[in-house]
Amino acid sequence: MDKAKLIIDDQTHELDIVVGTEGERAIDISNLRTETGLITSDSGFKSTGSTRSAITFLDGENGVLRYRGYPIEQLAEKSSFLEVAYLLIYGDLPNATELENFTYGVTRHTLIHEDMKKFYEGYPAKAHPMGILASMISALSTFYPEAQKSDLSPKEVDITVKRLIAKIATISAWSYKKSMGLPIMYPQNRLSYCGNFLHMMFALPTEDYEVNPVIEKALNTLLILHADHEQNCSTSTVRMAGSSHASLYAAISSGVCALWGPLHGGANQEVIEMLEKIQAEGGDVKKMVEKAKDKESSFRLMGFGHRVYKNFDPRAKIIKEVCDEVLDDLGIDDPLLDIAKSLEEVALSDSYFVDRKLYPNVDFYSGILYRAMGIPTEMFTVMFSMGRLPGWIAQWKEMRDNNEPISRPRQVYVGANERPYVDLKNRK
């Protein structure tokens, strides 16, 4: 095994260099503190690997994304969301029987306990659906207390997997209906996963509803593209929470909360609000680009930049193509798509973005598609959560199957040195 040499106070320490299956190299510092008394410091973990994972491979320099070795472009074109969920969670593409059983299992767990309907009555009318989703997923754990166990059997993990994937669609669609003051629609087992979600979102008891195959296919593609992305902020949160042996429900609920942030999954909502603002102010994309470059302003070009991709986000490329196809099929002329394209063009010809390798990420065009489907802006990050759920589950399962220790990072203390207590009467 290759070694790295670290010289501290004239003493040389040798550290193993780990090599991944795609040739990535890492210095194994797991024994650094015991050997040298020192730790590393890396705010935001920009140069720190938290685990060794066999689930997703990203090559940020070349814009490569693969789930269990399969290129995202092929999965987006040929696979289904439930097939990709199975691939991520269980490690390989299912055969026909495995896929049929998995699909059957998910389809028959779409109902949530009738008592959970009452929770919706307590939320304020304009409750953000991500707040509902995070709490409802955590609440699911109270209906399945057996899932709290530390030593779940594979069978108990499997049923929890199916319950989560099935019920997130119902919970999400019902939060939309709640926000609209419309009656909820129960799941329909005869429909596909995506078709069932669209039915629960948009069908009404007063009229027939037919799932539009163009929208159903586009949703399937979007969910596949969001399904996993190695150790991003929310996935690392799921792994961190799960490492204490909190239940999978609790770990997923923590992932939903982390994804909500505007720098992460919340960016898809921010992108549309940014495009709407540009439109409202006359469509001057150059002004928005200049504002994003201004260090005096905290504004960032939402949907641009990525911690790993220093080239095009392959997902953004696919979504941009699907946008053109779907809007054309649906006969929709969305001015925000034209604004997004000209914003991309202006930014990518500006040295500020080129020098910093800031390209459109997965969130830049996804909102245009969700809008074309009739999904409201506040639901965009919920859609991201639905897509990312199998990835979160797969990463949690890998962490537990590998018996990884509880995550507990160290720190460098920079606070006050020891000082005596001061009585209140003596304080200034």
DSSP state of 37: S
Choice from 363, 375, 390, 400 touching ligand SDX (CB under 6 A):
363
Which residue's structure tokens are 């200034």?
428
The minimum distance between CB 81 and ligand SDX, in angstroms, equals 16
Which residue's structure tokens are 């973990």?
45
Choice from 215, 267, 288, 383 touching ligand SDX (CB under 6 A):
267
The minimum distance between CB 266 and ligand SDX, in angstroms, equals 8
Choice from 163, 306, 320, 400 touching ligand SDX (CB under 6 A):
306
Record the tokens describing residue 408, joined without a space. 């507990």
Nearer to ligand SDX by Cβ, of 107 and 232: the residue is 232
Nearer to ligand SDX by Cβ, of 80 and 235: the residue is 235
Output the CA torsion sign for 352, 357, 362, 368. Answer: positive
10 Å Cβ neighbour count for 2? 10
Residue 337: strand pairing partners: none
Choice from 263, 294, 321, 401 touching ligand SDX (CB under 6 A):
263
The minimum distance between CB 308 and ligand SDX, in angstroms, equals 6
Nearer to ligand SDX by Cβ, of 170 and 231: the residue is 231
Output the CA torsion sign for 36, 39, 45, 49. Answer: positive
The count of residues in the chain is: 428
363 is catalytic: yes
Choice from 56, 135, 179, 361 touching ligand SDX (CB under 6 A):
361
Which single residue brings its beta carbon nearest to ligand SDX? Answer: 305
Segment contacting ligand SDX by CB under 6 A, of 149-157, 305-313, 401-409, 411-419? 305-313
Phi, psi angle pair for 349, to nearest 5°: -105, 10
Question: From CA 343, how far away is CA 336, in angstroms rounded?
Answer: 10
Cβ atoms of 187 and 170 within 8 Å: the answer is yes
302 in contact with ligand SDX (CB under 6 A): yes
304 in contact with ligand SDX (CB under 6 A): yes
Choice from 229, 239, 371, 400 touching ligand SDX (CB under 6 A):
229
Residue 101 region, left (φ>0) first, then alpha (ψ -120 to 50), else beta?
alpha
264 in contact with ligand SDX (CB under 6 A): yes
The minimum distance between CB 309 and ligand SDX, in angstroms, equals 8
Record the tokens describing residue 369, joined without a space. 């598609």
The minimum distance between CB 289 and ligand SDX, in angstroms, equals 9
Choice from 113, 245, 307, 310 touching ligand SDX (CB under 6 A):
307
Residues in 270-299 that interact with ligand SDX by CB under 6 A = 292
CA-to-CA separations, 395 to 27, 136, 227, 231, 333, in angstroms, rounded = 22, 21, 11, 9, 39
Residue 16: strand pairing partners: 3
Question: From CA 382, how far away is CA 344, in angstroms rounded?
Answer: 25
Residues in 27-86 that interact with ligand SDX by CB under 6 A = none
305 in contact with ligand SDX (CB under 6 A): yes
The single residue of 109, 128, 306, 313 carrying the catalytic annotation is 306
301 in contact with ligand SDX (CB under 6 A): yes
Question: From CA 29, how far away is CA 17, in angstroms rounded?
Answer: 9
Between 380-401 and 81-90, two packed helices, what is the crossing angle to 10 degrees?
30
The minimum distance between CB 92 and ligand SDX, in angstroms, equals 22
Nearer to ligand SDX by Cβ, of 104 and 299: the residue is 299
Nearer to ligand SDX by Cβ, of 243 and 395: the residue is 395
Phi, psi angle pair for 16, to nearest 5°: -65, 145
The single residue of 226, 363, 401, 423 carrying the catalytic annotation is 363
Nearer to ligand SDX by Cβ, of 178 and 229: the residue is 229
The minimum distance between CB 121 and ligand SDX, in angstroms, equals 33
Question: From CA 53, how far away is CA 48, in angstroms rounded?
Answer: 14
- Beta strand extents in 179-244 (DSSP E only): none
Between 314-330 and 362-372, two packed helices, what is the crossing angle to 10 degrees?
20
Nearer to ligand SDX by Cβ, of 112 and 278: the residue is 278
Nearer to ligand SDX by Cβ, of 169 and 238: the residue is 238
10 Å Cβ neighbour count for 420? 4
Segment contacting ligand SDX by CB under 6 A, of 196-204, 280-288, 337-345, 358-366? 358-366
Strand 11-19 and strand 3-8: the pairing is: antiparallel
Residues that bind ligand SDX (CB under 6 A): 229, 232, 263-265, 267, 292, 300-308, 356, 358, 361-363
Active site residues: 306, 363
